[in-house]
Chain A
């Protein structure tokens, strides 16, 4: 069973500063939602409010229509909150997992069975009798998640559980997490600053910037059609270039045409492009002039770093001839992998300008940055 979460007119402050400002947010029963945002965006604050670990300074947070302020411990026990740091207790792994069950008055025999099932699901059943303090970071996170899943919560709140893991452990952990959530009707809210987490685990992604909901759409749409430059940076676009839309509708970068479409008003905009969407041509070809700073080899491709502040990145296949450092080139943008975006939707909150359809986004491009 899941639960319907509702955030209504919430303002929350820390040290006199507003850290969260959400007018309205509904998370439906059984939905799997990823909240994306840079550090300090208010993601953890939102999660803590949903977990009833904090009360909003103004506004209301409710679970199935019951205000968390009035729901008491019965409401809190419907949710499980897996924090970024596992915070395991100084006891055995099994005891860590059974303790929340004991607090819920689950019979002793059943506790151990549920704990074993959850540990098995996360691949750490063999650690049940070990002391939690002696586990590796990845093992601790798995136990932390098993502890949350063992109670079969209506709401599962995950605060970047894979953030501290190395790349290999992270992928394996996220894979097992996805498998553990398959077939469950639990409402899941997963906070992350990585776009690939959104793609992997969520039906829906909410971009949170400066405590405000910047974009709320399907995970795929947020990555393919970010609302503005802030969200583009968040979802891993490698390049964000200042650009200008002329009165004739042409989008220019450094005064040169890009050929990219834009359906909004003339004025300053941003061109967001994945490195794979930046094509490097000779100085005689059409495009925006640039100078090669250096060429960095990568797995299966080379990254051409072009001078600029910040530098512009372009990925070229290994089989393609690489330009040399100092060489003058011209760049163009693949319209499938590049977007023209408003600099910020903060100045005109509301629906972002209708973007051009985008048929594909290569997975590795979307996961290339942890911005």
Chain B
């Protein structure tokens, strides 16, 4: 039992942290591109990103599963019922959230800042890195929110991962399975550990956020 819990816990952390990292990379890049292109002011773009932030996770799982299914267009990759497949599904769920927060964070910066950085001599990469530094607290908040969404998500990982014991079972799918079997005690243990994991990782990110806010003081 103990070994199983540790294994499921480690798998959950692996899937959610990986998905958050992928989504942070994609979402921050996309949000930055939209903000710099000034299309982030467009109501249509804002509505699209907001819709993405509220995507039903089971629907995302269904679409990803259909794509990864053996007879699907990406079936040859053999990712259905695998951890990478689950990471892809969760990353797709988290990316719009990170994109939306990034876009909003960069829109909060002075509108003239990108131009100002360019006139100070920054090239495009230096300008983008500086904008991220200016919005660093909000960007870390985006990562924290993304991780929170990934670690608590159950729909997509069930559909794409299949909740296979010793292979793709994660904390949320283990809780659902134990509840369905009437084993509430085990489900509560899994739930408590999941809460602990979420608290630990968010605490870590909050600490990084505090340090980031104070960074560059000298």
Is B113 an interface residue, CB under 8 A from the partner? yes
Bound together, the chains give a CA A97 to CA B173 distance in angstroms of 53
Bound together, the chains give a CA A80 to CA B126 distance in angstroms of 17
CB atoms of A89 and B118 under 8 A apart = no
Is B33 an interface residue, CB under 8 A from the partner? no
CB atoms of B218 and A103 under 8 A apart = no
Q: Which residues of B contact A302 (CB under 8 A)?
A: none
CB atoms of B118 and A53 under 8 A apart = yes
Q: What is the number of residues of chain B that contact chain A, defined by CB distance less than 8 Å?
A: 18
CB atoms of B119 and A103 under 8 A apart = no
Contact with A along B123-160 (1 / 0, CB 8 A): 10010001001100000000000000000000000000
CB atoms of A103 and B121 under 8 A apart = yes
Q: What is the number of residues of chain A that contact chain B, defined by CB distance less than 8 Å?
A: 28
CB atoms of B122 and A103 under 8 A apart = yes
Bound together, the chains give a CA A116 to CA B73 distance in angstroms of 61
CB atoms of B216 and A103 under 8 A apart = no
Q: Which residue of A51, A52, A89, A104 has the most chain B CB atoms within 10 A of its CB atom?
A: A89
**Smallest beta-carbon distance A10→chain B, Å:** 18
Is A327 an interface residue, CB under 8 A from the partner? no
Bound together, the chains give a CA A89 to CA B173 distance in angstroms of 45
Is A355 an interface residue, CB under 8 A from the partner? no
Bound together, the chains give a CA A129 to CA B217 distance in angstroms of 8
CB atoms of B120 and A100 under 8 A apart = yes
Contact with B along A79-93 (1 / 0, CB 8 A): 111010101011110
Q: Which residue of A80, A99, A147, A157 has the most chain B CB atoms within 10 A of its CB atom?
A: A99
Is B41 an interface residue, CB under 8 A from the partner? no
CB atoms of B112 and A85 under 8 A apart = yes
**Smallest beta-carbon distance A94→chain B, Å:** 8
Q: Which residues of B contact A52 (CB under 8 A)?
A: 119
- With A85-B110, A103-B126: A76-B218 Cβ-Cβ less than 8 Å: no
CB atoms of B121 and A151 under 8 A apart = yes
Interface residues of A (CB under 8 A from B): 48, 51-53, 73, 76-77, 79-81, 83, 85, 87, 89-92, 94-95, 99-100, 103-104, 129, 131, 147, 151, 157
Residue of B nearest to A73 (CB): B123
CB atoms of B121 and A77 under 8 A apart = yes
Known: A85-B110, A95-B216, A103-B120. 11 other contacts (CB 8 A): A76-B118, A77-B121, A80-B119, A80-B120, A83-B112, A89-B130, A90-B133, A91-B133, A92-B217, A100-B121, A103-B123
Q: Which residues of B contact A73 (CB under 8 A)?
A: 121, 123
Q: Which residues of A contact B123 (CB under 8 A)?
A: 73, 103
**Smallest beta-carbon distance B213→chain A, Å:** 9
Of the candidates B116, B130, B218, the one whose C-beta lies within 8 Å of that of A129 is B218
Q: Which residues of B contact A157 (CB under 8 A)?
A: 119
Is B183 an interface residue, CB under 8 A from the partner? no
The 26 listed contacts between A and B (C-beta, < 8 Å) are: A51-B119, A52-B119, A53-B115, A53-B118, A53-B119, A73-B121, A81-B119, A83-B116, A87-B110, A87-B112, A87-B113, A89-B130, A89-B133, A89-B134, A90-B134, A95-B216, A95-B218, A100-B120, A103-B121, A103-B123, A103-B126, A104-B121, A129-B218, A131-B217, A147-B120, A157-B119
Bound together, the chains give a CA A81 to CA B113 distance in angstroms of 12
**Smallest beta-carbon distance A164→chain B, Å:** 14
Contact with A along B43-66 (1 / 0, CB 8 A): 000000000000000000000000
- With A53-B115, A87-B116: A76-B217 Cβ-Cβ less than 8 Å: no
